[in-house]
Amino acid sequence: MTYAGFWVVFEGADGVGKTTQVDLLAAHLRSAAGGARDVLTTREPGGTPLGIELRQAIMHGDHVVPRAEALLYAADRAHHIGTKVRPALEAGTVVLQDRYLDSSVVYQGGARGLGDEVERISLWATEGMLPDLTIVLDMAPDPARMSRDLDRVERETIAKSEEMRQGFLARAALDPGRYAVIDAARPVESVHASVVEAVAAAMDRRDGIPLEPWGTP
């Protein structure tokens, strides 16, 4: 599918700084563009009203069997992409998204042991929509960066943090043109500078995206 917007997804294990970097990049793009281009920040799960309910059920409810968990994330994703992300991209918006299908591949496919079908379910749910750029924020698991109030999924997968880190790196290695791996163990502003550089390069690679006046930080 072609669209006038630009779609950046942030991936990585819990606490690597995805939300922090989404917010910084949004502020940077909004100010650099002088409001000339709409910028939408969103996340999975929970980017829509239905998604907020699904997020609550998945992450804060009682035990959910892994296959149901995978389908709930996929349902959130289908609705999120169909009602919010795809229309925004078609309208020319820059979409900055916290987590997407790599999280399902790594958490449900890897940590929960559900395997390759998880990716196929997500691709079916989204009619094959893939971001222009996925930024994997990479660092060794650091308990100091993780919330003290772990959600159900975090509690049940935290022992596999290093394995999941390797899972995200393996995803990035499969398609280097579509991924950027950024060292997230540095100060916030250094990580942000690398993020801006990666986004500018990806925009440059894609025809029709005016780089100016996005600039560097």
Ligand X SMILES: Cc1cn([C@H]2C[C@H](O)[C@@H](COP(=O)(O)O)O2)c(=O)[nH]c1=O
Residue 156 beta carbon to ligand X: minimum distance, rounded to whole angstroms: 9
Considering the complex, state which of residue 182 and residue 203 has its C-beta at the smaller distance from ligand ATP: 182
Beta-ladder partners of 181: 136
Q: Is 19 in the site for ligand ATP (CB under 6 A)?
A: yes
Contact 87, 149 (CB under 8 A): no
Query: What is the DSSP annotation of 141-202?
Result: --GGGS-SS--HHHHHHGGGHHHHHHHHHHHHHH-TTTEEEEE-SS-HHHHHHHHHHHHHHH
Q: Is 39 in the site for ligand ATP (CB under 6 A)?
A: no
Residue 52 beta carbon to ligand X: minimum distance, rounded to whole angstroms: 12
Contacts of 13 (CB under 8 A, 6+ apart): 141, 161, 164, 165, 168
Q: Answer yes or no: is 13 a known binding residue.
A: yes
Q: Is 97 in the site for ligand X (CB under 6 A)?
A: no
Q: Which does 104 bind (CB under 5 to 8 A by kind): ligand ATP, ligand X, none?
A: ligand X
Nearest to 209 by CA among 2, 32, 39, 4: 4
Residue 70 beta carbon to ligand ATP: minimum distance, rounded to whole angstroms: 18
Q: Which of 7, 11, 18, 110 binds ligand ATP (CB under 6 A)?
A: 18
Residue 55 beta carbon to ligand X: minimum distance, rounded to whole angstroms: 8
For tokens 């940077």, name the residue.
28
Distance CA 92, CA 165 (A): 32
Residue 80 beta carbon to ligand X: minimum distance, rounded to whole angstroms: 10
Q: Is 121 in the site for ligand X (CB under 6 A)?
A: no
Q: Using CB under 6 A, which residues numbered 169 to 198 contact ligand ATP?
A: 187-188, 191
Q: Which of 48, 93, 97, 103 binds ligand X (CB under 6 A)?
A: 103
Q: Answer yes or no: is 14 a known binding residue.
A: yes
Q: Is 147 in the site for ligand ATP (CB under 6 A)?
A: yes
Query: What is the DSSP annotation of 122-149?
Result: HHHHTTT---SEEEEEE----GGGS-SS
Considering the complex, state which of residue 190 and residue 205 has its C-beta at the smaller distance from ligand ATP: 190
Nearest to 141 by CA among 115, 117, 111: 111
The binding site for ATP consists of 12-19
Which residues of this protein are in contact with ligand ATP, per CB under 6 A?
14-20, 145, 147, 187-188, 191
